[in-house]
Amino acid sequence: ELYTALVDLKEVLHTESILINSLDQYIQAEQKKVELLQKYLEIYKHQHAEASEDVETYIANPINAYLLIKRLTTDWQHVETLMNMHMGHDYLKNVSMYREYMKFPTDEDLNGAAVALTRLQDTYNLDTAALARGELNGIKYSSELSAADCFELGRQSYNNGDFYHTQLWMREADARLKLETNKTVEKSDILEYLAFSTYKQGNLPLALDLTNKLLDIFPAHPRALGNKGFYEEELQKLNELRIKGDDESEDIPVNNEMMPQAQYPERELYEQLCRGEVKTDIAITSQLKCYYANNNNPFLLIAPFKVEEAYPSPKILIFHDVMSDNEIETVKSMAKPRFKRATVQNYKTGELETAQYRISKSAWLKDKEHKHIDDVCRRVRDMTGLTVETAEELQVVNYGIGGHYEPHFDFARKEETNAFKSLGTGNRIATVLFYMSDVPQGGATVFPNINAAIWPKKGTAAFWFNLHPSGEGDFNTRHAACPVLAGSKWVSNKWIHEQGQEFLRPCGLEQAPPELTA
Ligand SMILES: O=C(O)CCC(=O)C(=O)O
Ligand SMILES: [Fe+2]
């Protein structure tokens, strides 16, 4: 899939430039052909008009007679050959030859990108009309969507059985169509989708009304006629029920404005955190400090770490300027060719699989592959005071349009079929999350249990312990990567494991992790 990471979309732009070239050359060739045919036509018309003026005299002239015959033999053959020339084939053949080497998005990509847009719409409460104008939260980023573009978004939602977004986008398509001088889509097509999704959303009267509008345009539309009959019968049944029932029976249920139900309990809060609407309690934030730390490492005395506390318990620390632009470039360029769609572990089977709730591309880098990776890894050791001997390789992640990772734990819970078991290094005791890009809008890391949000800043890293000192998982470390609204989000993770930390982070039953040396 190409939609899952922004890096791949760059290559799609290259593909597009090749397509533009092919189309341009093809049109030029067609134009030459049409110009030639035009010339023939003019000669035909001119000669024919002359002949028609005085037929007898014209054909009595041997030269004219010869020319007439020539026009209808070799000349016409020429015309026929030209008319039969389908140059499109050649240019398409060219394109399909390139297809192997070019990155071409698939229908699955289109669907993924459409779903991502609707996800952004929901998470960030985006107004459909503003989105269609190319605006994200009042900032205009891109070109506007045509009625046909909106229609396609509605159609994709429809194919996914998402009738809520089908309605939103079909209505927008209709609104846009009214503004278009060159219509990009048929009103009747919009009405057909709109009517059926309205019915699916439970608004029968409106579905019938829309179907009648469609029948005004196409009185013999077979599907519309069928649906009209069906809706009328259903309405009739509802009315009968109402008459039979007592006076308290309400109106026909209308839930066409309803958003799909929250898929999980903390969704509401998660989305509010992503929008920046919910902030950490002031009583908590007022206790937080910023400080310089050298973590007892004499080498760091000259340039100690700039540490900011983001949350007291679980302690979440933010380290500023811990990855240089140079290192970031190395990490990105090494990861790019290895990118694969990020997977999640099926907690029952233990298998790795792709899922809608984690959309990004990722790759793993070994410390020994490059000095910069090794430096970053050693810095993790210096930052945390923990051993990185048993840590996982550096995981590099790039999020594409609407890319996200819904609330999860980094550690393995007891009931999970634990993939870390095979590593033999224990559970993921701590997480270091490097932000390798700024993100203009969206893309925060949020902790719904504790109302905390970290906004990406290039070069900084977040650090927290996933496990209590006792080794139990800390459920308050549940966190998520909010969908990216604008820009490209790059992060990398270093997951530190339990083994080897025995003397570095003494285990115990106390909940509070030991303080880092300030
Ligand atoms: O990208 C983020 O902000 C968080 C990523 C994350 O939680 C993970 O990869 O486990
Ligand atoms: Fe995570």
Instruction: Give yes or no for residue 466 CB within 6 A of ligand 1.
Output: no
Mean pLDDT of 102-114: 86
pLDDT at position 259, please?
53
pLDDT at position 108, please?
86
Instruction: Give yes or no for residue 481 CB within 6 A of ligand 1.
Output: yes
Q: Which residues 6+ apart lie within 8 Å of 342 measured at CB?
A: 4, 354, 358, 359, 360, 361, 362, 397, 405
Q: Which residue has the higher pLDDT, 431 or 102?
A: 431
Domain boundaries, the chain: 6-99, 107-244, 267-497
Candidates 3.40.800.20, 3.40.50.1100, 2.60.120.620, 2.60.40.10; CATH matching 267-497: 2.60.120.620
Q: Looking at the predicted structure, is the pLDDT value of residue 341 above 50?
A: yes
Instruction: Give yes or no for residue 479 CB within 6 A of ligand 1.
Output: yes
Mean pLDDT of 345-369: 86
Same fold, 107-244 and 267-497: no
pLDDT band at 262 (very low <50, low <70, confident <90, very high): low
* Residue with CA closest to ligand 1 atom 5: 481
- 241-245 long-range contacts, Cβ below 8 Å, gap at least 24? none
Cα(289) to ligand 2 centroid in Å equals: 24
Instruction: Give yes or no for residue 432 CB within 6 A of ligand 1.
Output: no
Task: State ipTM.
Answer: 0.99
Q: Which residue has the higher pLDDT, 334 or 11?
A: 334
The C-alpha atoms of residue 412 and residue 83 are separated, in whole angstroms, by 68
Query: What angle (nearest 5°) sits at the alpha carbon of residue 169, between those of residues 356 and 213?
Result: 140
Instruction: Give yes or no for residue 162 CB within 6 A of ligand 1.
Output: no
Q: Which atom of ligand 1 is nearest to the CA of 395?
A: 9
Q: Looking at the predicted structure, is the pLDDT value of residue 518 above 60?
A: no
Mark 446-464 as b/e (b = at least 16 C-beta within 10 Å): bbbebbbbbebeebbbbbb
Paired residues of 486 in beta bridges: 441
Query: What angle (nearest 5°) sits at the alpha carbon of residue 345, between those of residues 343 and 351?
Result: 100
Q: Do 135 and 22 contact (CB within 8 A), yes or no?
A: no
Instruction: Give yes or no for residue 464 CB within 6 A of ligand 1.
Output: no
Sign of CA dihedral 217, 220, 223, 224: positive
H/E run at residue 344: strand 344-345
Taking a 5 Å cut-off on Cβ, the residues next to ion ligand 2 are 410
pLDDT at position 261, please?
54
pLDDT band at 246 (very low <50, low <70, confident <90, very high): low
pLDDT digits (tens, 9 = 90+) for 12-21: 898 899 899 9
Cα(353) to ligand 2 centroid in Å equals: 16
Mean pLDDT of 248-261: 47
The C-alpha atoms of residue 197 and residue 165 are separated, in whole angstroms, by 9
Q: Do 292 and 308 contact (CB within 8 A), yes or no?
A: no
Candidates 3.90.180.10, 3.40.50.800, 1.25.40.10, 3.30.565.10; CATH matching 107-244: 1.25.40.10
Q: Which atom of ligand 1 is nearest to the CA of 399?
A: 1
The C-alpha atoms of residue 1 and residue 360 are separated, in whole angstroms, by 10
Nearest ligand, CA of residue 274? 1
pLDDT at position 299, please?
67
Q: Looking at the predicted structure, is the pLDDT value of residue 478 above 90?
A: yes
Take residue 336 and report the two structure tokens written for it. 């790019």
Cα(480) to ligand 1 centroid in Å equals: 6
Nearest ligand, CA of residue 358? 1
Mean pLDDT of 343-371: 86
pLDDT band at 244 (very low <50, low <70, confident <90, very high): confident
DSSP state of 241: H
- How far is the CA of 254 from the CAs of 150, 204, 263, in angstroms? 24, 8, 21
Cα(499) to ligand 2 centroid in Å equals: 20
- How many helices (DSSP H) and strands (DSSP E) are in the chain? 16, 20
Query: Residue written as tokens 């005071």?
Result: 385
Q: Which atom of ligand 1 is nearest to the CA of 445?
A: 3
Cα(465) to ligand 2 centroid in Å equals: 12
The C-alpha atoms of residue 151 and residue 174 are separated, in whole angstroms, by 8
The C-alpha atoms of residue 328 and residue 325 are separated, in whole angstroms, by 5
Q: Which residue has the higher pLDDT, 408 or 259?
A: 408
pLDDT at position 255, please?
46
pLDDT digits (tens, 9 = 90+) for 209-228: 999 999 999 999 999 999 99
Residue to mutate (ligand 1; options 433, 438, 484; most atoms within 8 A of CB):
433
Instruction: Give yes or no for residue 491 CB within 6 A of ligand 1.
Output: yes
Q: Looking at the predicted structure, is the pLDDT value of residue 511 above 50?
A: no
pLDDT at position 303, please?
76
When mean pLDDT is compared across 137-141, 142-146, 462-466, the lowest value belongs to 137-141
Average pLDDT in the chain: 88
Q: Which atom of ligand 1 is nearest to the CA of 482?
A: 3
